[in-house]
């Protein structure tokens, strides 16, 4: 088959256009879906699952984060409030801006989760 015959046959072109339009349609659909609230939650869950969780200690001074061997104290006045969901405690820096998430599954028992809830309610307003 010569080069001219190859270009005269439209099957390759139709296949190429079909692949490109299918890929672009899939990418557009993915972009639209990920821009919904469901997509934001899904992205946040995947990002959180991708990296190891830091070790978190909540005490009367604030929140101590140990991540990759580095220790960092966040005093209580750093945070403006907290939200409790079914799965986690979320500490907020600015209104609506999450700063630290404390997954409830990291507490070995319900008593520690209750103690964390009490300490958060004592130090930070519920949003």
In angstroms, the CA 90 to CA 29 distance is 30
The whole-angstrom separation of Cα 24 and Cα 53 is: 35
Average per-residue pLDDT for the chain: 77
- Check residue 117 and give its pLDDT: 92
User: What are the tens digits of pLDDT across the range 14-40?
Assistant: 555 555 565 555 566 566 556 677 666
pLDDT confidence band for 94 (50 / 70 / 90): confident
pLDDT at 49: 64
Average pLDDT over residues 1-11: 58
Strands 70-75 and 98-103: unpaired
Write the pLDDT tens digit of every residue in 96-107.
677 888 888 888
Given this model, what pLDDT does residue 93 score? 87
Mapped onto helix, strand or coil, the DSSP state of residue 107 is: coil
114 compared with 7, residue with greater pLDDT: 114
Report domain extents, the chain. Answer: 3-48, 53-123
Residue 54: pLDDT above 80? no
Q: Which of residues 47 and 81 earns the better pLDDT score?
A: 81
Sheet of 81-84, strand order: 81-84, 88-92, 98-103
3-state secondary structure 55-91: EEEECCCEEEEEECCEEEEEEHHHCCEEEECCCEEEE
């Amino acid at each position: 088959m010569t080069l001219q015959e190859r270009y005269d046959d439209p099957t390759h072109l139709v296949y190429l256009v079909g692949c490109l339009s299918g890929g672009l349609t899939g990418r557009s659909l993915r972009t639209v879906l990920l821009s919904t609230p469901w997509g934001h939650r899904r992205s946040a869950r995947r990002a959180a699952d991708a990296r190891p969780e830091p070790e978190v200690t909540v005490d009367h001074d604030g929140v101590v984060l140990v991540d990759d061997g580095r220790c960092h104290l966040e005093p209580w006045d750093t945070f403006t409030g907290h939200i409790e969901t079914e799965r986690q405690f979320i500490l907020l820096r600015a209104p609506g801006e999450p700063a630290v998430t404390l997954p409830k599954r990291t507490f070995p028992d319900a008593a520690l989760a209750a103690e964390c809830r009490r300490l958060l309610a004592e130090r930070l307003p519920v949003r």
